[in-house]
Structure 1
């Protein structure tokens, strides 16, 4: 294990006893520099004035949840590099996926031991921010898929505490095949085991013992951060109501009366150990999900990197051919279309990483004036050739000045190209043979670009038209075109909507973009 002496850790939890327990566990590892916050909002204020090396944050908190806090940290350029461990009892897979998508470094499932906390800190310190990950060419190997890796969890541990050797032997033999059984002949020895780096998962605790009875053992367990969450089943000959009440106040999960009924006790222990194993499996599942997401991201990153080289080669070769002598007009047009298609593909590859930033709320727009008329004409010209066999009439109506006086949108040209490429392509696909698709640019504030075609959006998908994976009757359709169009439009501080005329049988998509100020 590493030396943690210089590490500064920010612990974020709205439950003060939990913050104190975590603080004690961190100090037992040699981490003395610990900063505390009761929610994400307070933690962000602390991070503005103090440097930390790692964040341990609870998930469910008032004011700002752990997930919202994580998103805010990853969005802040000055903080996005920090390892972020989410401490949670969350069991909903979709929410865990949201945290992975937002950039969590690791998960720590409650309740946890100091040993598990230390291993998570070790792992999180090796986490590399997405922006700082080495280029694919520099990687030596690709990690195995986590789901294919065998997770060694080991048997749950049962601690039997009893001052009578015969009772210890009976209980040990009863559970030795299913669990790792440890024994303690006294309360003092039981506390030593419970406060160690490898505490038990469940304690069978005799009440009547000399020197320190079972109630006192349980009381001291509840006062120590390592053992305060360890479940206890009292094994006692006491049947009085006040004794049971005392046990319940000390957090007992069950009582077993002496003389012991082996079948009954086995079922009670087995039922609770299922819960223990479920929590252990939950941690393993989260680890697998996180590792799978990391692997998928690496593969996508490598794929984008590997595709760019050949596409750039196609563009260079095409441009070289276009400058050669002896080409007729038709050949130049074909090469121009090849170049345009290759440039479009390269833009799409570059766009994937930008869309990821938008979805995770980390995109920062650097707006510039865009000749939107030129973008529209280029896209329409490309699709005239693509849909030639459909005999569509594609028209662009800008009815505006050209050149320097032409209206310009304020945004990102690559985004605009992708938006209108998707929308005009969809309109052409939906339009009947020999019909018309019109693209109209209106000089309003904001600028309005309207794309109209014959054919209506099906009633069943109108309410989800701009949502992810929405598609209808389109073979091979991914349902991402209109979703990315909305995402890229909103990233430029614009908006998008549609109008359907069931009477006329037409659909119009309207895109609104901010106009660039004319000097």
Structure 2
């Protein structure tokens, strides 16, 4: 039993009833007394909020039903639990009391053990509700802080980051540069995309989990983004001696090919980067990784010859689902699913020991 003295307001117009209840509860609770409905309302309206009210029904001028109705109709007092302590024990009386918001009925003459048990129960429930309300307020404050950080990151970081990412490519295409200068600009561009990936992973995904993320759609050249992802991960697939096979509508990809989809390009880059990196990690060395685009179906399929481990096949797109990867976080396919859902895209996979794994995104 919590030893903190919770406040109980006893409302009854009969002194002997007040005395009986007071003697029963005074050692365990802090008590206040009201001998009429008006007095009870004055006490709570003056700010002396009880944790529980024991309320008689049959009182002159204002009966307990009206007192209960007024308390429940005021947002400042509506959460105070009310137990009717009354000689009125007809079924209709109890039904009316519960309809008005009472939490329990105790019949007169009272049974002391019963009163103590029911009072303790309601006090405990009230304390639990108050704790939950406090925790909810803390969660709301934390969420507001995250929202503010996200706003700063999106507007104060992402906007200049767009420039950092786009200017190197413009310079490479429009200015005569030495090879080492082009390499330096490429490094700047790659660092910009890496920063972008970090921002998206920590902020945008949180909002997608909450279902509050709003996609900023524009036309995306899927081929261009795909080439960028592959170039950024070139060192990985070269070390493993994997061959990257790109195709559009069943034909080998040419320099002039393009496929336009609608979405948020930076998120799309992040999603493709995660999925292709996962395919590289899962693929055996010296094997092909195929990236097949279909302009009619508006889809892309990423295939490698590695099979998804049996223990995570049912949770492949779940958060923290990983197996056999010491540095794996289990967030790559999870974030891909969230990004797909935020855009209204469909993502699915098939896997087997014989045919490997194919992830398909349909736009």
TM over 0.5: yes
Question: In the TM superposition, what whole-angstrom CA distance separates every residue of 1:10-49 from its partner, at most 9, and x where no partner exists?
Answer: xxxxxxxxxxxxxxxxxxxxxxxxxxxxxxxxxxxxxxxx
Shift of 1:183: 0.9
Provide the residue aligned with 2:317 in structure 1: 466
The CA distance in 1 between the partners of 2:176 and 2:223, in whole Å, is 32
Correspondence for 2:66 among 212, 220, 243: 220
The CA distance in 1 between the partners of 2:89 and 2:343, in whole Å, is 68
CA distance 1:222–1:393, change in 2 (3 Å): same
The CA distance in 1 between the partners of 2:290 and 2:95, in whole Å, is 75
The CA distance in 2 between the partners of 1:315 and 1:418, in whole Å, is 14
CA distance 1:177–1:299, change in 2 (3 Å): farther
Correspondence for 1:436 among 280, 285, 288: 288
The CA distance in 1 between the partners of 2:163 and 2:262, in whole Å, is 29
The CA distance in 2 between the partners of 1:440 and 1:243, in whole Å, is 75
Shift of 1:431: 1.0
CA distance 1:221–1:354, change in 2 (3 Å): same
CA distance 1:303–1:174, change in 2 (3 Å): farther
- Kindly report which structure 2 residues correspond to 1:222-261, keeping only aligned pairs within 5 A, or say none: 222-224=68-70, 225-226=73-74, 230-234=81-85, 243-245=89-91, 247-251=93-97, 253-255=104-106, 257-258=108-109
Unaligned runs of 5+ residues in structure 2 are none
Provide the residue aligned with 1:388 in structure 2: 238
TM-score computed with the length of structure 1 as normaliser = 0.54
Shift of 1:425: 1.0
The CA distance in 1 between the partners of 2:235 and 2:182, in whole Å, is 11
CA distance 1:155–1:322, change in 2 (3 Å): farther
Unaligned runs of 5+ residues in structure 1 are 1-153, 514-519
Shift of 1:187: 4.7
Secondary structure, aligned partner of 1:340: helix
CA distance 1:371–1:170, change in 2 (3 Å): closer
TM-score computed with the length of structure 2 as normaliser = 0.74
Provide the residue aligned with 1:421 in structure 2: 273
The CA distance in 2 between the partners of 1:231 and 1:318, in whole Å, is 70
The CA distance in 1 between the partners of 2:154 and 2:309, in whole Å, is 35
The CA distance in 1 between the partners of 2:244 and 2:254, in whole Å, is 21
- The two structures, once aligned, show a CA RMSD in angstroms of 4.2
CA distance 1:421–1:230, change in 2 (3 Å): closer
CA distance 1:155–1:292, change in 2 (3 Å): farther
The CA distance in 2 between the partners of 1:178 and 1:282, in whole Å, is 24
Shift of 1:474: 1.9
The CA distance in 2 between the partners of 1:318 and 1:408, in whole Å, is 23
Question: In the TM superposition, what whole-angstrom CA distance separates every residue of 1:299-356 from its partner, at most 9, and x where no partner exists?
Answer: 555567787699789879989x989x99864x34642441232131243256455555
CA distance 1:196–1:232, change in 2 (3 Å): farther
1:495 aligns with 2:346: yes
Provide the residue aligned with 1:126 in structure 2: none
Question: In the TM superposition, what whole-angstrom CA distance separates every residue of 1:461-490 from its partner, at most 9, and x where no partner exists?
Answer: 333323333322222322222233334345
Secondary structure, aligned partner of 1:391: coil
